[in-house]
A and B are shown apart, each in its own frame.
Chain A
């Protein structure tokens, strides 16, 4: 029996003063932000200043809002780059100051900024740091900011996308400080004795999704859902017309998953039919007045609770151009990381492809796309992906000195596909 989430959090807080660094692995929706906010308040309560590092401006804004919500007595300084325009809600928060220089912030309990911004700060050392989304942070970014803190808590999701570069970094593979590795891998390779904790429960994923995602993407550590099989439901209040799109939505409402399979065909990336199908699914979902019920009560699935995910930016642009309400989030896997929606509609990364490259096989990409939803996930794909995978076994060269990475993208893709095939429309 694993520890309860509460016990894990208490263990983490107890470990903080004992080690230079503490790592917490968090599966999708396992309360990572809650942990960050609690640890921040815990450290701030000791009276020592704290810096928080996140990866994107949205993540920073999110954290600021959460900290102020839970702990209104804390003062927060939000460092930003010159061109950044703070959202209105941020300016209304008491105790928050926004500035481009440390001197502009006064002397707050907590200073928070993106890793890119922190890299420009110098000449001061914080006793404590929290690094959020540390698995999405490239180790060269950590190198730039590691001199700013004495001790740090690293929190992140190991199953999501690895950091990447536009240039070929094979020359460094095998080095323990490979700049293209994630901050956590490099940290742990140099400091193997640091404690690694795992959050055991996903509060986001419903009971229908947690076992699938856990087995496919977290084969050795695993996690369970915080809610039971009957605790979440999705209802379509308006009747359907019996089209494939309506049937796919009904299947998703019933089981939490649906695969809308289009005829097998090799297509260009912005496959017109697939794009149309994705757009139609989103429109029908709104038209049919979906209502989601959960432990948080009952609420209609409005456009802002729906996300559409794809692998490439041009696909995203094509889907946006297909005429969706602007409130629906349409984005790539990279940008959907860390976000949460009621229903997601996913264009499968391998749909219509002739080949399965390392980019498309990367397990993190599919993991992000398949783990953003609280209620249901509808996948649109051309038939023939299983055959495509069979024709492209992973054949990446094995590099000396590189730790073997799990899960294998090829295997994870097969596992998810097998599960989806039971929900095919």
Chain B
């Protein structure tokens, strides 16, 4: 936890209400998000019990497995779930735009993409397990399932995988996103309770959040008291309606909380880089849709050596970009870097807009800016700098002492003999410079999977679906 977040948490505790740790929203919010609250059977890894989902807050769909130990009923539930989720996902495929690429063929990208919002990390993990347990099902042979079930599994797996990329918004966990924008006065473990976190943000901490009779757990696990006293008798009674009504009481309160969380996030203005990250999400989604359309086999059970390395490289790239973009978008995030000396903000007190370096043909315009700052500057002369005020600009630290920092602008001030208007900050302007830059080299290529070298076990065996897949336990 950083110093600033710790301070915000202390202040939240002191004032009895959560404190903002962001001034803008750092995730994309879809116009029509799919809110998905799954419940599983206690004691099982991923045996589905029920789900409440939908894109309309006034009209949630409730899907229930009346007897969660019955395999056929679970598959019927998965097929029902596919009946809601797949049309939602496929609804985005029709409207596309052509994207030109350097060194590659243009491709079609959907103009919008689906967004699934689950309550918490547990919900994300459940989506991943549900995808894992349905994507290898067969529509023929022993234990056949409806065609939509393995397709649902592939999409759920995709959403869960994509959620591991920092900054992606295709699937969000409500508690995670709230926690990125507000600091409560409770521990991060307690923050995983949606009801508790929301009450910290809206009205202040309340004991009701811990009471399963007022706010049942947001899933995927259910309250043990409810399991023993209500659910078990209802299932044993054999009446599907009674089970459904019992589960509705557990899901409806969370349904309301989910939409409250969405409203809170929607109340924040969107960060400047959010659209760019959503564009990448749309590209990724279109790629997945193309895979599905081509009929490629489902995602492998485990990443092979090459796939793992490739994924790690992409995730690291996404993490680095996300960190930098958030700081550039949000002065409150940048403040963290100002505290650690990786950024500084202050007032411009002097400029030399026509400063030049070199002679003759190598003569280059290098405007100088002197900034007065109270921040501790821990950057060495020569460090490359960027600035949120002029994102295309590059600069270099010349010297920093006694609160006076001299910066040399090296990029993005125009090609002329004098700097373009507005490129050099005016005296009196408040500016911020940082050594964080969103300037990454691409990563070198990996071998083809079939050419995995001997150091990594050689080429992997290819996956061929067989009847044993159907024998696999489904829980």
Contacts and interface: CB of A to CB of B under 8 A. Distances in A.
A152 to B, nearest CB: 8
Contacts of A147: 447, 451, 453
Give me the 3 closest cross-chain CB pairs, A-B, nearest first. A146-B453, A119-B444, A177-B305
Given A177-B305, A180-B312, A314-B341, A166 B455 contact: no
Given A21-B455, A144-B309, 10 more contacts: A146-B454, A146-B455, A165-B316, A166-B320, A167-B319, A175-B303, A177-B308, A178-B308, A186-B455, A320-B378
Interface string A98-134: 0000000000000000001001101000000000000
Contacts of B340: 314
A167 B316 contact: yes
A147 B459 CA distance: 12
Interface string B159-181: 00000101000000000000000
A240 interface: no
Interface of B: 3, 164, 166, 302-306, 308-309, 312-313, 315-316, 319-320, 340-341, 376, 378, 444-447, 451-458
Of B164, B444, B453, B456, chain A has the most CB atoms within 10 Å of the CB of: B456
Interface string A301-322: 0000000000000100110110
Interface in A299-348: 314, 317-318, 320-321
Contacts of A7: none
A268 B341 CA distance: 14
A197 interface: no
Interface in A165-187: 165-167, 169, 171-172, 175-180, 183, 186-187
Contacts of B316: 165-167
Contacts of B456: 139, 142-143, 146, 177, 186, 190
A179 B315 contact: no
A343 to B, nearest CB: 25
A82 to B, nearest CB: 10
A186 B340 CA distance: 36
A176 B166 contact: no
Contacts of B446: 143-144
Given A140-B309, A166-B316, A190 B164 contact: no
A320 B315 CA distance: 33
A423 interface: no
Contact of B312 (A119, A167, A317): A167
Contacts of B315: 167
A23 to B, nearest CB: 11
30 contacts: A20-B454, A21-B455, A122-B445, A139-B309, A140-B313, A143-B306, A143-B447, A144-B444, A144-B445, A146-B454, A165-B316, A166-B319, A167-B166, A167-B312, A167-B316, A171-B164, A172-B303, A172-B308, A172-B312, A175-B303, A177-B456, A177-B457, A178-B308, A179-B308, A186-B455, A186-B456, A190-B455, A191-B455, A314-B341, A321-B378
Contact of A165 (B306, B312, B452, B458): B312
A143 B312 contact: no
Contact of B455 (A116, A172, A187): A187
Contacts of A179: 305, 308-309, 312
Contacts of A21: 455
Interface of A: 20-21, 116, 119-120, 122, 139-140, 142-144, 146-147, 165-167, 169, 171-172, 175-180, 183, 186-187, 190-191, 268, 314, 317-318, 320-321
A20 B453 CA distance: 12
Of B166, B306, B378, chain A has the most CB atoms within 10 Å of the CB of: B378
Contacts of A144: 309, 444-447
Nearest to B447: A147
Nearest to A171: B164
A190 B457 contact: yes
Contact of B378 (A122, A186, A268, A317): A317
B452 to A, nearest CB: 8
A50 B241 CA distance: 75
A116 B306 CA distance: 17
A180 B302 CA distance: 15
Contacts of A122: 445
Of B303, B308, B457, chain A has the most CB atoms within 10 Å of the CB of: B308
Contacts of A186: 455-456
Given A167-B166, A177-B456, A190-B455, A143 B378 contact: no
Contacts of A169: 312
B309 A314 contact: no
A183 B320 CA distance: 23
Nearest to A169: B312
A140 B309 CA distance: 5
Contacts of A140: 308-309, 312-313
Nearest to B304: A177
Nearest to B161: A171
B310 to A, nearest CB: 9
B371 to A, nearest CB: 18
A381 to B, nearest CB: 21
Nearest to A268: B3
A314 B455 contact: no
A176 B455 contact: no
Contacts of A120: 444
B385 to A, nearest CB: 16
Nearest to B314: A167
A59 to B, nearest CB: 19
A335 to B, nearest CB: 14
A167 B457 CA distance: 25
B128 to A, nearest CB: 10
B308 A175 contact: yes
Contacts of A20: 454
Nearest to A318: B378
Contacts of A268: 3
Of A20, A119, A140, chain B has the most CB atoms within 10 Å of the CB of: A140
A175 B341 CA distance: 39
